[in-house]
């Protein structure tokens, strides 16, 4: 039911047969900015940034392996995904345009742009950022989601207690997407597994899971977390 792979997703996805995956759901590394974090000696932005930012300097990087680009991995997830199946890609506003353009170029059809409304956000001089975006797309013909009453804006609390990863997503958010786009015992792939939230969600819902993670630290955390669940 669960297969965890440690290493570079660009290499390890080559081991996955064409058209064998029922759903791809992932939160890939991408370029970020610090928002309200700046070098002011006083003021609200300085105070907030200490609590909310995931990195110390505004270099666009959060993780050790942050340089992979979507045009490197998007063709592979298209290849392994079954016809008439869904993909959910989490992204920030800065990368939204290039992500959508690249997904379309490799063959995906865009269904919708979903929004995760959080109960906490990042300070910014151009509106407080309290949401993240999820590109919802498909390969092949359109397939309806299982709960067609689902809305495009989803309110879920961020992970605070016992947080294992700087950008960890709540399991209940992940479970909603899995329930809408798969049936029991189908296969979900997350090529950027992080601390394993998608794997935990799959185990809770009786879905098969393939997770790939390059970082030694987070791969071990994902192993322990999924095995303990």
What string of pLDDT tens digits covers the 229 residues of the chain?
A: 899 999 999 999 999 999 999 999 999 998 776 444 444 443 444 443 444 444 444 444 555 556 789 999 999 999 999 999 999 999 999 999 999 999 999 999 999 999 999 988 888 888 988 999 999 999 999 999 999 999 999 999 888 777 776 778 999 999 999 999 999 999 999 999 999 999 999 999 999 999 999 999 999 999 999 998 7
The owner of tokens 């992080």 is 194
Name 115's Cβ contacts closer than 8 Å, sequence gap at least 6: 131, 132, 133, 134, 152, 153, 154
- Contact between 114 and 136 under an 8 Å Cβ cutoff? The reply is yes
Q: 2-228 in CATH: which number?
A: 3.40.50.150
Strand partners, 132: 116
Backbone angles phi, psi at 217, to 5 degrees: -60, -50
Asked whether 154 and 160 are in contact (CB, 8 A), the reply is no
| pLDDT value of position 23 | 98
Domain ranges in the chain are 2-228
pLDDT at position 142 is 96
What per-residue confidence (pLDDT) applies to 53? 46
71 near 103, Cβ under 8 Å? Answer: no
Quote the pTM value: 0.86
Q: Which two tokens stand for residue 172?
A: 């209940």
Q: Give the whole-angstrom CA distance, residue 42 versus residue 121.
A: 20
């Amino acid at each position: 039911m669960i297969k965890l792979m440690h290493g570079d997703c660009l290499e390890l996805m080559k081991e996955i047969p064409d058209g064998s995956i029922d759903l791809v759901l992932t939160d890939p590394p991408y370029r970020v900015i610090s928002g309200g974090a700046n070098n002011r000696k006083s003021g609200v932005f300085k105070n907030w940034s200490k609590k909310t930012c995931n990195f110390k300097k505004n270099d666009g990087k959060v993780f050790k392996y942050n340089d992979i680009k979507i045009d490197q991995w998007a063709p592979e997830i298209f290849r392994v995904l079954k016809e008439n199946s869904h993909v959910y890609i989490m992204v920030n506003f800065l990368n939204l345009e290039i992500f959508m353009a690249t997904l379309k170029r490799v063959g995906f059809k865009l269904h919708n742009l979903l929004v995760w409304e959080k109960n906490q956000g990042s300070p910014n001089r151009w509106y407080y950022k309290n949401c993240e975006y999820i590109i919802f797309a498909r390969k092949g013909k359109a397939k309806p989601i299982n709960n067609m009453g689902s809305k495009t804006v989803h309110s879920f609390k961020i992970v605070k207690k016992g947080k294992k990863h700087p950008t960890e997503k709540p399991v209940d958010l992940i479970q909603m997407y899995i329930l809408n786009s798969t049936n029991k015992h189908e296969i979900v792939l997350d090529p950027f597994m992080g601390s394993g939230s998608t794997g935990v969600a799959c185990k809770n819902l009786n879905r098969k899971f393939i997770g790939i993670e390059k970082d030694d630290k987070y791969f071990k955390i994902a192993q322990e977390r999924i095995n303990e669940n």
